[in-house]
Amino acid sequence: MAERFGEHSLKAVGVRIDAEHPEGFIFDPHQPQLRVTDLGSVRGDGIFETMLVLDGKLRKLQPHLDRLARSAEITEIGIPPEESWRAAIDRGLEEFKTRGGGGDNISVRLTATRGVDGEPASEDPRWAGTYWVLLTPVPEKVMANRLKPISVTLLDRGYDSKASERAPWLLLSAKTLSYAVNMAAYRWAAQHGFDDVIFYTSDGQVLEAPTSTVLLLTKTADGTPKLTTPTLKTGILPGTSQGSIFAAAERAGWELGYGPITPEDLKAADHLWLASSLRLVSPIERIDDTEFATDEDYTAQLLDFLKEDLASSYPQEG
Amino acid sequence: MAERFGEHSLKAVGVRIDAEHPEGFIFDPHQPQLRVTDLGSVRGDGIFETMLVLDGKLRKLQPHLDRLARSAEITEIGIPPEESWRAAIDRGLEEFKTRGGGGDNISVRLTATRGVDGEPASEDPRWAGTYWVLLTPVPEKVMANRLKPISVTLLDRGYDSKASERAPWLLLSAKTLSYAVNMAAYRWAAQHGFDDVIFYTSDGQVLEAPTSTVLLLTKTADGTPKLTTPTLKTGILPGTSQGSIFAAAERAGWELGYGPITPEDLKAADHLWLASSLRLVSPIERIDDTEFATDEDYTAQLLDFLKEDLASSYPQEG
Same-domain pairing of B118 and B173: no
In a domain, B178, yes or no: yes
CA B288, CA B272: separation in Å to the nearest integer?
14
Q: What pLDDT is stored for residue B177 in this prediction?
A: 96
Mutation for testing the A interface, residue in B182, B183, B200, B278 having most A CBs under 10 Å? B183
Q: What pLDDT is stored for residue B69 in this prediction?
A: 98
Same-domain pairing of A172 and A249: yes
Mutation for testing the B interface, residue in A8, A169, A182 having most B CBs under 10 Å? A169
Chain B residues touching A176 at Cβ < 8 A? 44, 180
Give me the helices (H) in B99-203, please.
140-145, 163-166, 180-191
Residue A75 touches partner B, C-beta closer than 8 Å:
yes
What tens digit of pLDDT does each residue of A60-110 get?
999 999 999 999 999 999 999 999 999 999 999 999 999 888 889 999 999
Q: What pLDDT is stored for residue B1 in this prediction?
A: 35
Residue A92 CB partners (closer than 8 Å, separation 6+): A13, A14, A15, A24, A26, A108, A133, A135
Same-domain pairing of B231 and B246: yes
Within 10 A of B165 (CB to CB), how many other CB atoms are there?
11
pLDDT at A4 over 60: no
Chain A residues touching B110 at Cβ < 8 A? none
Same-domain pairing of A155 and A119: no
Same-domain pairing of B105 and B167: no
In a domain, B84, yes or no: yes
Same-domain pairing of B158 and B295: yes
Domain count, chain B: 2
Residue B141 touches partner A, C-beta closer than 8 Å:
no
Same-domain pairing of A57 and A150: no
pLDDT at B6 over 50: no
CA A65, CA B247: separation in Å to the nearest integer?
53
CA A241, CA A60: separation in Å to the nearest integer?
8
Mutation for testing the B interface, residue in A9, A36, A140, A156 having most B CBs under 10 Å? A36
**If we measure between CA atoms, which residue out of B181, B314, B294, B293 comes closest to residue B248?**
B314
pLDDT at B309 over 80: no
What tens digit of pLDDT does each residue of B127-157 get?
999 999 999 999 998 999 999 999 999 999 9
Q: What pLDDT is stored for residue B237 in this prediction?
A: 95
Q: What pLDDT is stored for residue A9 in this prediction?
A: 44
In a domain, B314, yes or no: no
Interface touch A36/B180, C-beta < 8 Å: no
What tens digit of pLDDT does each residue of A184-200 get?
999 999 999 999 999 99
**Interval A300-310 mean pLDDT:** 90
What DSSP string runs through B15-82? EEEETTEEEEEEE-TTS--B-TTBHHHHH--EEEEEEEEETTEE-SHHHHHHHHHHHHHHHT-----H
Per-residue exposure over A295-307, b if at least 16 CB sit within 10 Å of its own CB, e if not: eeebbebbbebbb
CA B59, CA A38: separation in Å to the nearest integer?
25
What tens digit of pLDDT does each residue of B59-112 get?
999 999 999 999 999 999 999 999 999 999 999 999 999 988 888 999 999 999
Cβ atoms of residues A273 and A302 within 8 Å? yes
Mutation for testing the A interface, residue in B38, B169, B236 having most A CBs under 10 Å? B169
* Whole-number Cα distances in Å, A229 to A246, A291, A318: 10, 20, 12
Q: What pLDDT is stored for residue B100 in this prediction?
A: 84
Same-domain pairing of A125 and A158: no
Q: Distance from A35 to chain B by nearest Cα, in Å?
A: 4
What length does chain B have?
Answer: 318
Q: What pLDDT is stored for residue A1 in this prediction?
A: 35
Interface touch A36/B183, C-beta < 8 Å: no
- CATH code of the domain covering residue B27: 3.30.470.10
Q: What pLDDT is stored for residue A2 in this prediction?
A: 36
pLDDT mean across residues, chain B: 93
- The arrangement of strands across the sheet holding A46-54 comes to A21-27, A13-18, A130-137, A106-113, A46-54, A57-58
Residue A212 CB partners (closer than 8 Å, separation 6+): A196, A239, A241, A274, A275, A276, A279, A282
In a domain, A315, yes or no: no
Q: A residues 89-128 near B, CB within 8 Å?
A: 109, 111, 114, 118
Chain B residues touching A37 at Cβ < 8 A? 12, 29, 134
Domain limits for position A191 = 144-308
Q: What is the ipTM of this complex?
A: 0.93
Q: B residues 264-303 near A, CB within 8 Å?
A: none
Residue B183 touches partner A, C-beta closer than 8 Å:
yes
As beta bridge partners, residue B152 has: B196, B287
pLDDT at A312 over 60: no
Name the band, by pLDDT with cuts 50, 70 and 90, for residue A309: confident
- CATH code of the domain covering residue A234: 3.20.10.10
pLDDT at A155 over 60: yes
Within 10 A of B75 (CB to CB), how many other CB atoms are there?
24
* Whole-number Cα distances in Å, B79 to A56, B21, B70: 42, 14, 11
Same-domain pairing of A44 and A193: no
Dihedral through CA A174, CA A176, CA A180, CA A182, nearest 10? 40
Residue A182 touches partner B, C-beta closer than 8 Å:
yes
Residue B231 touches partner A, C-beta closer than 8 Å:
no
**Interval A50-60 mean pLDDT:** 93
Same-domain pairing of A21 and A117: yes
In a domain, B313, yes or no: no
**Interval B280-288 mean pLDDT:** 97
Chain B's closest residue to A189, CA to CA, is B169
Q: What pLDDT is stored for residue A175 in this prediction?
A: 97
CA B257, CA B209: separation in Å to the nearest integer?
18
What tens digit of pLDDT does each residue of B57-69 get?
999 999 999 999 9
Cβ atoms of residues B36 and A109 within 8 Å? no
